[in-house]
Each structure stands twice: as structure tokens, then as C-alpha cells.
């Protein structure tokens, strides 16, 4: 009987133990489940935030890469542009030189022509009827023909600081001479840069120079080691010309 009671007690004890174990186990599972859920809830929020943040960071990185690529492209283009610009500037400088838009210096000759007012007065006094005033003043044609004679030997020519360019026209208007539409007054100083001897030879070859020497107009020619010739100060307006194909 005692053995039976002991067995009963044992069974009750074991049942109690199992129950306690079971309760603990089940509650443990619940707790585990719940705490897991809570942890999951916190974790999921953080994880979602983290994922968002990482996506944002990735987007930022992509944007940075894009900008860096764009900058690199612009810089390489800029470098090309810079070399293009310096090449263009060199071309422009050469054009400025050939267009007479740069002041030049070099050896050459200076020709001085002046009206002979004194001679004219004396001639008028001596022979009022036979006196020809035109023989005592410098004419536009004198300048025009002298310049054309000097042209093939001269690298630059100016008349009283007016640079002679391709389209320079010389004319008289009453008693004044216009060069590049600018009124000039005597004495006239023609400066030409080039080989002084060649320039003098060209001058000697000129009919107009030779005839001037026979007139009453004082003509003075001096070679010079260094002459300064001013740049063309006018405009280059092109209204009718367009580029034609170079062929």
C-alpha cells in the first residue's frame, strides 16, 4: 500500500513536474514568440529605415558619379576649347598684322613733301599772269602714285600716321587731302618699312617721283634704321562680301 502511495506520489510529482515544464515551455514559446515579434517590429522599422537610408546613399553616390562624369567631360572639352582658342587667337593675331591693325617698327624710308607757299608767293609776284598755283602744292595723285610705287617693296606704309591698307583711298577735297576719309594737312610724311635701298630704288623708278623732283615742291627722302608706323585706326566693315569656296 505504501509502495502504491509512493508510486502515486511519484506519478503526481512527475505530473506536476511535467505540467510546470509544459506551462513554462508553452509560456516560453509565447514569450519567445512575443519578444521575437517585438524585436521584429523594432528591427523591421529600423531595417526599413536603414534600407531607405542605404537607397538614398546609393542614389547620392550615383548622382556624385554622374556629376563627376559631367565635370570630366566638360573639362576635357574645355581643354580642347582652350587649345582651340589659343590657336584661334594666334590666327587672329596674324590677321591683325596683315590687316594693318598692329603698329609696326622696322627699317625703311621717310619721304617728306611740303607745299611751297613761299615759292608760290614769289612766283605770283614775279609773273602774275603765268603763275600756276597748282605747281606749288602737293596733290592727292602725288601721294597716290608714290605709294603705289613703294607698295611692292614696303611691308607697311603710312601717310601722316594714316596707315595705308588694301582699300585705302586718297582724294582731294578742295585744298585738303583725305586719306582713309581722314583730312590731312601738309607737310606730308610718307613712311615705309622695308629694305631702305629697295624702297629708294622703287621710288627712283617712279615717274611721279622723278617729276616731283623737277617741280617747285620740296621733296626730302631719308632712309632710317628704325621707323614706327601706326596701326590702322579705321573700321573693317564688310557688308557685301561673303566667303567663296577656296578651290
Partner 1 sequence: MWTCVFWLMLGILSGAALVFAIFPAERAAASLQQRIFRAGSLFLLLLTGLIVLNSPLISGKATGLGNGNPAELALLVKNVNENKNALREELRGLQNELEQTKALVKNGDSLTDSVNARINLLLLATGNQSIKGPGVCITFREQSNLMYYDLIDLVNELFLSGAEAVAINGERFTSYTSIAEEASSSVRLNPETGRYVTDTAYNITMNGKRLSYPLCIQAIGDAATLEKGLDYPGGILQSLAALYGVSPQLAQSTEILIPAAEHREFTHSVPLEK
Place of cell 583730312: 183
Task: Kindly state the smallest distance separating residue 190's Cβ from partner 1, in Å.
Answer: 13
Residues 6+ apart with CB under 8 A from 215: 135
Place of cell 506519478: 11
Specify the residue, 98 or 132, whose C-beta has the smaller distance to partner 1: 98
Which positions from 116 to 135 touch partner 1 by CB under 8 A, shown as an x/- string?
A: --------------------
Residues 6+ apart with CB under 8 A from 62: none
| Subset of 12-71 contacting partner 1 (CB under 8 A) | 14, 17-18, 20-22, 24-25, 27-29, 31-32, 35-36, 39-40, 42-44, 46-47, 49-51, 53-54, 56-57, 60-61, 63-64, 67-68, 70-71
Task: Kindly state the smallest distance separating residue 153's Cβ from partner 1, in Å.
Answer: 9
Specify the residue, 71 or 121, whose C-beta has the smaller distance to partner 1: 71
Q: How far apart are CA 214 and CA 160, in angstroms?
A: 23
* Helices 140-150/196-204 angle, 10° precision: 130
Place of cell 627712283: 204
Q: How far apart are CA 78 and CA 99, in angstroms?
A: 30
Which positions from 149 to 188 touch partner 1 by CB under 8 A, shown as an x/- string?
A: x-xx-xxxx------xxxxxxxx-----------------
Specify the residue, 127 or 211, whose C-beta has the smaller distance to partner 1: 211
Amino acid at each position: 500500500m505504501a509502495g502504491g502511495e509512493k508510486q502515486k506520489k511519484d506519478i503526481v510529482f512527475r505530473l506536476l513536474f511535467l505540467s510546470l515544464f509544459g506551462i513554462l515551455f508553452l509560456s516560453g514559446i509565447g514569450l519567445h514568440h512575443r519578444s521575437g515579434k517585438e524585436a521584429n517590429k523594432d528591427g523591421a522599422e529600423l531595417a526599413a529605415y536603414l534600407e531607405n537610408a542605404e537607397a538614398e546613399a546609393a542614389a547620392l553616390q550615383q548622382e556624385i558619379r554622374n556629376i563627376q562624369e559631367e565635370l570630366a567631360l566638360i573639362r576635357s572639352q574645355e581643354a580642347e576649347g582652350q587649345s582651340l582658342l589659343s590657336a584661334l587667337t594666334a590666327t587672329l593675331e596674324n590677321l591683325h598684322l596683315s590687316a594693318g591693325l598692329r603698329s609696326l617698327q622696322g627699317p625703311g624710308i621717310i619721304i617728306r613733301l611740303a607745299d611751297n607757299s613761299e615759292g608760290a608767293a614769289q612766283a605770283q609776284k614775279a609773273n602774275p599772269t603765268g603763275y600756276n598755283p597748282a605747281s606749288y602744292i602737293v596733290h592727292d595723285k602725288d601721294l597716290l602714285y608714290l605709294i603705289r610705287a613703294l607698295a611692292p617693296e614696303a611691308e607697311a606704309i603710312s601717310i601722316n600716321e594714316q596707315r595705308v591698307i588694301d582699300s585705302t583711298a586718297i582724294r582731294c577735297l578742295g585744298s585738303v587731302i583725305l586719306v582713309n576719309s581722314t583730312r590731312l594737312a601738309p607737310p606730308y610724311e610718307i613712311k615705309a618699312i622695308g629694305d631702305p635701298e629697295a624702297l629708294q630704288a622703287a621710288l627712283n623708278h617712279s615717274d611721279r617721283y622723278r617729276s616731283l623732283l623737277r617741280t617747285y615742291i620740296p621733296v626730302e627722302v631719308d632712309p632710317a634704321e628704325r621707323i614706327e608706323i601706326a596701326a590702322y585706326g579705321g573700321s573693317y566693315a564688310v557688308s557685301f562680301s561673303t566667303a567663296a569656296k577656296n578651290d
